[in-house]
Structure 1
Amino acid sequence: MKRRLYFILALFIIVITFNSCGATNSGIFAQPDMEKNTSYHDFKGFGIIDYKTFPHEAQAKLAALEAARQDAYTKAVEYVYGTYIDSSTTVKDFVMQNKEIESKLYGLIKGAQEINQGFDMNEGMAWVVIRIYKKDIENIIGKRIKYF
């Protein structure tokens, strides 16, 4: 019985391994591929189409596009400025009582261009791709970027 269980478990692991090896980076969540030595960086954001909050299809799609746009800008700010994370943990008698993690993001992005947008109706999502050029990032941070 134990031997049979190990065999089934091994077979399951092999199937999962081969299945994941064939996965491509072309799904909705795939980030844009960056070519080497390009003078720009692309950021892809996502937004859920919410028909409960917005019963009209056009309104739900516009709200999802705006959420995707904000997500793309958030990713750009994280890339340019980084993210500040503050955490605190309370331990009493060697048992964790409370753990809080707070993340803050501040930044100004100038020169970003929306280069693509669309919907994946199978996933119920909208997506937006924005592009920021190296020169604009250098203007934002006030110094030249050696390795981009």
Structure 2
Amino acid sequence: MKKSLFFIMLLLLILLFASCGANTFGIFSQPENQKGAAYHDFKGFGIIDYKSFPQEAQAKLAALEAARQDAYSKAVEYIYGIFIDSNTTIKDFALKNKTIDSSLWGVIKGAQEIDEGFDMTQGMAYVTIRVYRKDIEQLLGKRLKNF
């Protein structure tokens, strides 16, 4: 009796935790790409800044451009990688200064903008670009195994 009650409680607990991991398809969710897909999607975000741009149309256009640049940056980081350089200064066994610089460099050809819009509840713009596997392979000059 105690064993069956224990297993029932365990099963209920597992179901409870499984239901807590519901999908969050909000503005920040990235497009899902299956392994071996013919393309990869990158989603960028930009904040609608009414202080810097008092005109609503201007603020929205600036946010869309920031989102577009963010999407392209994510694509470059994914395709080429990111270079990180860090310097640390320690004096008297205490951290005095630490700087971390990251840089991206790359060319993205064949990217297509497939979605853009605004989430006014978050005050953000989003842009999704799609880069096809064949274009990435052409850029890198080699076939990709784990795309």
Cα-to-partner distance string for 1:35-66 (whole Å, 9 max, x where unaligned): 34310000000000011111111111111000
**Matched residue, 1:62:** 61
Q: Establish whether residue 83 from structure 1 lines up as the match of residue 79 from structure 2.
A: no
Deviating more after overlay: 126-135 vs 54-63: 54-63
Q: Establish whether residue 117 from structure 1 lines up as the match of residue 113 from structure 2.
A: no
Cα-to-partner distance string for 1:89-136 (whole Å, 9 max, x where unaligned): 111121111111000111110000000011000000000000000000
**Matched residue, 2:32:** 33
Shift of 1:24: 2.2
Q: Which runs of 4+ in 1 moved over 4 A?
A: none
Determine the C-alpha separation between the residues in 2 that align with 1:127 and 1:90.
Answer: 39
Determine the C-alpha separation between the residues in 2 that align with 1:97 and 1:23.
Answer: 44
Identical-residue share of aligned pairs (%): 69
Code of the residue aligned with 2:140 in structure 1: it is I
**Matched residue, 2:135:** 136
Deviating more after overlay: 72-81 vs 51-60: 51-60
Determine the C-alpha separation between the residues in 2 that align with 1:54 and 1:78.
Answer: 29
Deviating more after overlay: 73-82 vs 53-62: 53-62
Code of the residue aligned with 2:63 in structure 1: it is A
Determine the C-alpha separation between the residues in 2 that align with 1:96 and 1:85.
Answer: 20
Residue ranges of structure 2 left out of the alignment (5+ in a row) = 1-15
**Matched residue, 1:106:** 105
Query: Cα RMSD (Å) of the superposition?
Result: 1.6
Code of the residue aligned with 2:75 in structure 1: it is A
TM-score, with structure 1 as normaliser:
0.84
Deviating more after overlay: 22-31 vs 58-67: 22-31
Determine the C-alpha separation between the residues in 1 that align with 2:35 and 2:43.
Answer: 18
Residue ranges of structure 1 left out of the alignment (5+ in a row) = 1-16
Shift of 1:23: 4.4
Q: Give the length in aligned residue pairs.
A: 131
- Whether contact under 8 Å (2:112, 2:130) holds in the other structure is yes
Determine the C-alpha separation between the residues in 2 that align with 1:23 and 1:51.
Answer: 34
**Matched residue, 1:74:** 73
